[in-house]
Structure 1
C-alpha cells in the first residue's frame, strides 16, 4: 500500500509535496496540473509554487492543490518565499532545470527528498553553453532522483552526475482546444477558411520563434513548395525573438508562410491541417508530435532527441538542417494519400502505447514512496 495513499497507513499523516514550476512551458505546466490532480485524488497534499499567470492559465487550485505565487526568479525575495513553502514539505518536486536550481537553493542543506523532472533541454551557445552545463551538473547532483522525459535526457542527467536518473512516464496534456470546439468535421472547413487555406494544402507548425526550432530551415524548404499548384500554406503558431527576421524573409522572398502568433485554438488548427511539421534541432516528448498523432494528422519531423523514441514508425523523419529532405518528404506525402492514411493508422497505434495520466501519477507516487518510506510517525 502506498505511503502517500489517502488512508494514511499505519497512522502516518498524508504526504505533503511541493511542486515547483520553472519556465512554465505548455507541456510542463499541463503536466503539473495533471499530476496535482492525480496526487490530490490519492490523498496527497499538493502545493504548487508558480507565477500568478500560470495559476490563471492552468488553475492548479481547481484540481485541489494549493497555489503559492512565486515568480520565476532567483532573487532573494522569491527564494525566501520558496524556502518558506518548502520548510515543512515531505518531498519537493521541481519541473525543469531552472526550477530545479531555485528549489535546490531554497532547500539549502536540508535532507528533504528532492525530485527533478527534466521535461526538455535548454539551448545555449558559447559561454552560456558552459554555464548551462554547470547548472545541469549542480541540479543533477543534488537531486535524489532525476526523471527525464526521453532516454537521451536520462543519459544527459547521468553524464552530469545524477545519482539516480530514470525515464519518466509523462501523459499527453489535454488537447489545446477552444471551448466551442465540439465537431471537428463541421469546424474544419471554417478553420481552414479563416486561415486562408480553402483550396490549398495546409501545413502546421507550432512553437516559440526561437533558433533551435528550425524555422529558418522550414522557410528554406518552403521555397520548393512555392512551385506546387496549388502552393501549400505553412502556418506557424508561436511567438518569439525571431519573428522580425522570419517575417522579413517571408515578405522579401514571397514565401507561402504565415506567422499567426500565440493561439488558444492550436488543437482546431492542427486538426484542420493536412500535415504537421516539426523541424527542431532537438525535442524530447514534443507536445505537437503527440497531438498530431492523436489527431490523425501525418507528421514530418526531424530525427533528433526523443522524437524517434516517441513516434516510432508513425511519422516521416528527416535529418535536422536538411531543407531539401524536409521539402521532399512533404511533397511526397502530399502526393501520396495512401501513405498519409498509413501514417494516420500507425499514429493511432503508437499513441495507444503512451502513458496515461493514471500511469504517470502511479510512477511518480512510487518514486515518492521510495524516497519517503522512512518518514516519522506523527
Structure 2
C-alpha cells in the first residue's frame, strides 16, 4: 500500500514529527510521498476546494489503495473530503492541537472534527483531551499518538558535572547568589502560561530561586516589561542553541503551560535527569508519568510551592532519579514506526 502524507503549514515539533515519519517510512522501504498541497492555517474556500480536488486526483490516480495520513485538524478534514470511501483506501488523522479562539473559531473547529472523525479509519491524538474530543465527535478508532523522545549524541543526565549550575547561574549576572536555578524551555506564547509563571516567580521572590526562560515569541516584550516593573527573579534568555548545556546546569525544569501535546522540552528534561515541576496540562502526564510534580493549570501558588520543595537537595535527588527512570520508558523511533505500520497497512482480519 502506498502512503501519502498531508501536512499543514507548521514549524517546530509538528513539522519535525512529520519529517521523522517520512524518514522512518522511507528507511523501512515503504512507498511514501508528501502530497503537493499547502494546507493554510485559516479557511479559504477557493484554496481549500483546490486542495480537496488535488488530493482526490492523486488518490484516484494511484491505481491501488492509498493510506492517507493527514496531520492536524484542517488537513484531516480536507483529506476526509478527498479520500474516496471505496477502493480500499485508508485515512489516518493525527490531532496535534486544540482549537483556540472565539465562539466562531471553536464552532468551525468542532464541525471539522466531526467531519474527519466520522470518515477516518483511525484518529491519533497527542493528548487525552484531544482523544476524548475525537471519541465524542464519532471517531471509531482513537489511539494515543506515539511521539518519540529526542535523542542526543551526548549522554545527558547520568552524571552531573562538578560545576553543575555554574553556567546557568552566570546567565543571571556576575556575583548573583542563587540557591536554585529553574529552567523554562518554551515559546513565549499564551499557550505556555507565562504570566502564571511570573505570578509564581513573584511568590518565590526572596527564596533564592532564579528562573531562566529559553525561547522567544510574541509575548517577549510584554513579559520583559512586567519582569522589570515588578523586579521578578526571572531572566529571558531568548532563543538558545545550547539547551543541552542549560539542562545540565539547571537544578530543575519548570513548565506553566495552559495546554500541551506531548512536550518535547519535558522529554529532554527527563533524558537529562532533571527534576520537573509542571502543570497537568494536555498530554504532559503522558510524557512525565509519575516522575514530575504536577500542579493544576493556572495555579501559581501550587507552582511556587512545588518549586520551593525542590530547594531541599534530597527531594531534588529523588526527583532526578524518577526522571532518569521515566526517561528509559519514553517511546523511541522504532515505536513510532511500529504504530505507523499497524495503522497504515493493518493486517487482514481473520474470521
Q: TM-score range by the shorter chain?
A: 0.7 to 0.9
Q: Secondary structure at the match of 1:39?
A: helix
* 1:367 paired residue among 339, 343, 351: 343
TM-aligned CA distance change 1:249 to 1:81, over 3 Å: farther
* 1:126 paired residue among 65, 87, 103: 103
Cα RMSD (Å) of the superposition? 3.0
Q: Secondary structure at the match of 2:207?
A: coil
Q: Summarize deviations over 1:68-107 as a string: whole Å, max 9, x none.
A: 5736355256556555555527111012223213433444
Q: Secondary structure at the match of 1:162?
A: coil
Note the residue ranges of structure 2 that are not aligned, 5 or more in a row.
none
CA distance in 2, matches of 1:222, 1:151: 29
CA distance in 1, matches of 2:39, 2:34: 12
TM-superposed deviation, 1:226: 2.3
**1:352 and 2:328 are equivalent in the alignment:** yes
Q: Which moved more, 1:186-195 or 1:231-240?
A: 186-195
Q: Secondary structure at the match of 1:163?
A: coil
**1:338 and 2:338 are equivalent in the alignment:** no
**1:38 and 2:14 are equivalent in the alignment:** no
CA contact under 8 A between 2:67 and 2:345: conserved in structure 1?
no
Q: Summarize deviations over 1:214-268 as a string: whole Å, max 9, x none.
A: 1111111111222123x4133241313x333222212221222233333333333
**2:279 match:** 302
TM-superposed deviation, 1:314: 0.7
**1:209 match:** 188
Q: Which moved more, 1:276-285 or 1:68-77?
A: 68-77
* 2:134 paired residue among 150, 157, 167: 157
CA distance in 2, matches of 1:42, 1:90: 17
* 1:96 paired residue among 72, 80, 96: 72
CA distance in 1, matches of 2:74, 2:237: 29
Structure-to-structure mapping, 1:1-378, within 5 angstroms: 15-49=1-35, 68=36, 70=38, 72=40, 75=47, 82=55, 85-86=58-59, 87-88=61-62, 90-107=66-83, 112-175=89-152, 185=161, 191-192=167-168, 195-196=171-172, 199-200=177-178, 201-229=180-208, 231-240=209-218, 242-333=219-310, 335-370=311-346
Note the residue ranges of structure 1 that are not aligned, 5 or more in a row.
1-14, 50-67
CA contact under 8 A between 2:260 and 2:284: conserved in structure 1?
yes
**1:4 match:** none
Structure 1 moving runs of 4+ over 4 Å: 76-87, 108-111, 183-191
CA contact under 8 A between 1:23 and 1:96: conserved in structure 2?
no
TM-aligned CA distance change 1:105 to 1:269, over 3 Å: farther
CA distance in 2, matches of 1:195, 1:278: 19
TM-aligned CA distance change 1:79 to 1:261, over 3 Å: farther
CA contact under 8 A between 1:23 and 1:98: conserved in structure 2?
no
Q: Summarize deviations over 1:6-57 as a string: whole Å, max 9, x none.
A: xxxxxxxxx32111222534322222222222211221022134xxxxxxxx
Q: Secondary structure at the match of 2:346?
A: helix
Q: Give the structure-2-normalised TM-score.
A: 0.83
TM-superposed deviation, 1:108: 6.7
Q: Secondary structure at the match of 1:248?
A: helix
How many matched pairs?
Answer: 333
CA distance in 1, matches of 2:150, 2:100: 23
TM-aligned CA distance change 1:263 to 1:38, over 3 Å: same
TM-aligned CA distance change 1:227 to 1:25, over 3 Å: same
